[in-house]
Amino acid sequence: MRKQGFTLIELVMLIVIIGIVVLVAMPKAVTSQAVRLEAACQKIASDLRYAQGMALAQQVRFGISFDPVSEAYFVYRVNIGTVAMDPQTRNDFNVSFVTLNEFKGIDIASTNFSNKIEFDSAGAPYDGNGVILSSQGVITLQAQAGAYSRTVRIEAKTGKVSVQ
């Protein structure tokens, strides 16, 4: 007479199948938000490097002005006070996390400077008041109401940009 029950192999197979179902059924929002947050950080870092490169190439000050309230920023040429041209779109260099789908749900939480960072003709970073940065500049981005956060950092004096 055969006893009723599962063999060890049947139990292992059942656990593996349940694990696969759980992985497939998990919401993708967590992964999606983390990817969007990383992309937003890389975009800001790239745009900071672009502004610094333009300042070096044209030997005039370029800057970026952040607006944490509207989740946006723009790149500008300091001495004539105009918005720079986006090399990719050939339009004004304005970035809004609200209107760009790839950055939906990402917030520019804060900056530890006057919301403006400028680079001189040698690439050195200044705050919006024309004072060279004496400490690291930090831009904090958040996803899902602060569940995830990352920072973009600008080194004082050198202007080196990194994402952490």
Contacts of 27 (CB under 8 A, 6+ apart): none
Instruction: Give every strand in the sheet of 161-163, ordered side by side.
Output: 106-111, 137-143, 148-154, 161-163
Residues of the chain with pLDDT > 70, as a percent, come to: 92
DSSP track, 86-115 = PTTTSSB-EEETTT-GGGTTEEEEEESSSS
Structure-token pair, residue 45: 């870092």
For 30-73, the pLDDT digits (tens) are: 567 888 889 999 999 999 999 999 999 999 999 999 999 999 99
pTM over the 0.75 mark = yes
- Which domains occur in the chain, in start order? 30-163 (3.55.40.10)
CA 35 from centre of chain:
10
For 97-106, the pLDDT digits (tens) are: 888 888 888 8
